[in-house]
Structure 1
C-alpha cells in the first residue's frame, strides 16, 4: 500500500525542481573543491603530498554537514508544499490509505532524494580526484563514509522538519529552523558529542565519535518519525 503512495508521490514531484535540488548539492560541493584545488593546486598537493586523496576527502568532508542539513530542510519543505499549494490534503487523506502510510511515504521519498545526492557526491569526489591526477586507487570506503554517514546522522532533523512541514501550511518556521541548524553546524566542532547537531560533523570525521553519531542519528530519527506518524494520524491537516 505504501508503495502505491510512494509511486504517486514520485509522479507529483515531476517538474517541481526536487531532483534538480538533489543534484545541485553534491555538484556544488565538488565544484567548490575543484575551484579550491584548481587555484591552489601546487600548495595543496604539497601540503597533502603524503596522502593526496586524504586531503581531498578532508576538504570535502568539511562542507558535507551544512549541505546535508540545508538539503534536508529544503527537500522536506518542498515535498510538503506539493500538497499544501494544491490544497489536496483532504482528498489525499480521504483515500482508503492509512495516514501513517502517507507520512512514511513522504519520509521515504525524502530519503530517496537525499540518498541520490549522497551517491552523486561519492561519484563526484572520486571523479574529481582522478581528474586532479591523484590516481585511480581512490579510497572507496572513506569516500562512501563522508558521503553517506553524515546523512544518517542527520535523520533526526529530517524526521522533525518533515513532521513540521507536513502539519503546518506556513513553511517559514521549519525552513528557518532547518537553515539555522545548517549554519550552526559550521561550529558543531565546539559542541559536546551528545548534541545531535554535532552528529553530522562527527560522522564525517575521525572514527572516535562515529558510532554515537550514526547510531544516535538512526535511533533518534526513528523515534521522532514514530512520534510524528502518530501525531499525523490523529491531527486534522488543512
Structure 2
C-alpha cells in the first residue's frame, strides 16, 4: 500500500520544481567552491600542498549543515503543497489507503530525493577535485562518501519533523520560518554542545564519535516519524 502511495507521489511531483531543487543545491555548493579555488588556486596549492583533498572536504563541510536543513525544509514543504494547493486531502484520504501509508510515502519520497542530492554532492566533489588536478591516486573516496551521506543520516530528525509539520499545517509559513531559523542557527551552533540536535549533521562527519551521532539521528528520526504518523492518523486534514 505504501509503495502504491509512493509511486503516486512520484508522479505528482512532476513539474513541481522539486527535481530542480534537488540538483541545484549540491551543484551550487560545488560551484561556490570551484569559484573559491579557481580565484585563489596558486595560494591553495602552495599553502595546503599534500592535503588538498582534505582542505577541499573541510571547506565543503562548512556549508553542508545549512544546505541540508534548508533542503529538508523546502522539500518537505513542496511535497506537502502538492495536496495543500489543490485541496486534495479529503479526496486522497477517502481512497482505500491508510493515513499511515500516506505519511510514510511522503517521508520516504523526501528521504529518497535528499539521498539523490547527497549523491550529486559526492560526484560533484570528486569531479571538482579532479578538475583542480588534486590527483586521482590519493582521492579520499571513503571520506567523500562520508561527507555526503553521514550528515544526511544524522539529520533524519529534522526530516521527520518537517514532513510532519508541513503535512499538518496548510499555512507553510510556520514550518518554513522554523526551518530557516534552524538552518541559520546551524552556522553558529558549533559553539554549543555537540549534542545540540542542530549540530548532529556536523558531528556525524567530524570527531571521534561520528557513528554515535548518526545512530542517534536515525533513532530520533524514527521516534519523531512514529509520533508524526500517530498524530497524522488522528488529525483532521483540510
- Give TM-score, length-normalised by structure 1: 0.98
User: Within 2, Cα distance between the matches of 1:181 and 1:232?
Assistant: 23
State the partner residue of 2:152.
151
User: Within 1, Cα distance between the matches of 2:63 and 2:199?
Assistant: 14
- Residues 90-129 of structure 1 show CA distances to partners (whole Å, capped at 9, x for unaligned) of 0000011110000000000000110000000000000000
- 1:142 aligned to 2:143? yes
State the partner residue of 1:90.
90
Deviation at 1:204, TM superposition (A): 2.9
Q: Secondary structure at the residue paired with 1:204?
A: coil
Deviation at 1:164, TM superposition (A): 0.5
User: Within 1, Cα distance between the matches of 2:227 and 2:187?
Assistant: 29
Q: Secondary structure at the residue paired with 2:204?
A: helix
- 1:160 aligned to 2:161? yes
User: Within 2, Cα distance between the matches of 1:183 and 1:41?
Assistant: 29
Show structure 1 runs of 4+ deviating over 4 A: none
- 1:124 aligned to 2:124? yes
State the partner residue of 1:23.
23
User: Within 2, Cα distance between the matches of 1:47 and 1:102?
Assistant: 53
State the partner residue of 2:55.
55
User: Within 2, Cα distance between the matches of 1:204 and 1:65?
Assistant: 11
User: Within 1, Cα distance between the matches of 2:102 and 2:48?
Assistant: 48
Q: Secondary structure at the residue paired with 2:97?
A: coil
User: Within 1, Cα distance between the matches of 2:182 and 2:162?
Assistant: 11
User: Within 2, Cα distance between the matches of 1:193 and 1:131?
Assistant: 35
- Residues 37-83 of structure 1 show CA distances to partners (whole Å, capped at 9, x for unaligned) of 00111111122212111111111111111101100000000100010
Root-mean-square deviation over aligned CA pairs: 0.8
User: Within 1, Cα distance between the matches of 2:209 and 2:67?
Assistant: 20
State the partner residue of 1:213.
213
Aligned length: 237
- Give TM-score, length-normalised by structure 2: 0.98
Structure 2 residue runs without a partner (length 5+)? none
- Between 135-144 and 7-16, report the one with greater CA deviation: 135-144
Deviation at 1:209, TM superposition (A): 3.5
State the partner residue of 1:103.
103
User: Within 2, Cα distance between the matches of 1:174 and 1:232?
Assistant: 16
Structure 1 residue runs without a partner (length 5+)? none
